Amino acid sequence: MDVGFIGIGAMGEGMARRLLEARHRLVVYNRTRSKASVLVAEGAAVADKPGDACGGDVVVTMLADDRAVEDLFVGGDLLSAFRPDTVHISMSTISVALSERLTAMHDEAGRAFLAAPVFGRPDAAAAGKLFVMAAGPENLITRSQPLFDAMGQRTFVVGEKQPQANVVKLAGNFLIASVLESLGEAFALIRKSDVDVHRFLEILTETLFSAPIYKTYGTLIADEKYEPAGFKMSLGLKDIRLALAAAEAKTVPMPVASLVKDNLLAGIAQGEGDSDWSALARVIARNAGLA
């Protein structure tokens, strides 16, 4: 397919490369052009401005936050550069409110829209091992499946309304954060009880908690290895805020999310915003007089 890919960051680069490997034709755009240029050797064309990436079958956006998306679709008028049959696939982690707004805008403009945020870190993006959560009209998802297959190991269809995918993504990130918080508390107790933390982690992950999330983050916390960051605490805070905003919009109290938000703020206030967000466990350890 002819694909425009907007947003060549840590995630986007790997995703775009996977599309190229699957022999799709790519026009890529990034605000900092040099980041897009790395894909030229592999066959991508680089667009001078976002609109130049919108003339194909599909436009994928993979941007850092709501603001970056709004710059294009609310501040700018990127939709006017779309062909009538271009499908916009928004894969960024954005707010449910913005996804609702984008859905309405595309409807009004008669343009096709999918929300398809992903689970996975940059290494999973590079390996095509992302999990894709897609929502929107079924036929559009079907049409886009070859792209999802190139970028992800599996696609889940969340529903027919695009914002449903975004809320699932945010709820998932909240669950990860809650695991960081709970592990942090458990590890603080374990350390002050004079039990070997790696032994404890082994017991967890070989019994009831045998999920990647416990293995990956449990090891970071047991090793107290929070730098370099895989996913920065400041970005983690952003995602928890989005989850809380979605919850408030639906009048849902989420006390653990609130608690995690406050502890992330504490970490950032104490200078850890650029550490991995699992350093939440260090904030907790400090409150226990450790470290």
Catalytic residues: 169
Q: Whole-number minimum distance, CB 64 to its own copies, in Å? A: 19
Q: Which of 168, 229, 279, 280 binds its own copies (CB under 8 A)?
A: 168
Terminal C-alpha separation, the chain: 53
Q: Whole-number minimum distance, CB 26 to its own copies, in Å? A: 27
Of the pair 69, 268, the CB lying nearest its own copies is at 268
Q: What is the DSSP letter of 43?
A: T
Does 104 contact its own copies by CB under 8 A?
no
Residues 187-226: x where in contact with its own copies by CB under 8 A, - otherwise, as a string: -xxx-xxxxx--xx-xxx-xxxxxxxxx------------
Torsional class of 136: left (φ above 0), alpha (ψ -120 to 50), beta (otherwise): left
Q: Which of 5, 29, 174, 226 binds its own copies (CB under 8 A)?
A: 174
CA distance 171 to 167: 6
Please report, as a single letter, which amino acid is at residue 83: R
Q: Which of 179, 233, 242, 279 binds its own copies (CB under 8 A)?
A: 179
For the segment 32-61, give every residue that binds its own copies (CB under 8 A): none
Does 263 contact its own copies by CB under 8 A?
yes
Q: Which of 39, 112, 183, 222 binds its own copies (CB under 8 A)?
A: 183
CA distance 49 to 159: 33
Does 81 contact its own copies by CB under 8 A?
no
What tokens were used for 250? 């639906």
Of the pair 35, 286, the CB lying nearest its own copies is at 286
For the segment 12-31, give every residue that binds its own copies (CB under 8 A): none
CA distance 285 to 81: 52
Of the pair 28, 244, the CB lying nearest its own copies is at 244
CA distance 248 to 120: 26
Q: Whole-number minimum distance, CB 85 to its own copies, in Å? A: 28
What are the backbone angles phi and psi of residue 218, rounded to the nearest 5°? -60, -40
Residues touching its own copies, count (CB under 8 A): 76
CA distance 146 to 157: 14
For the segment 128-157, give every residue that binds its own copies (CB under 8 A): 131, 133, 154, 156
What tokens were used for 127? 């390996």
The alpha helices in 30-136, defined as continuous H runs, are 33-37, 66-70, 96-109, 122-126
Q: To the nearest 5 percent, what fractions of the chain are helix, strand and coil?
A: 55, 15, 30
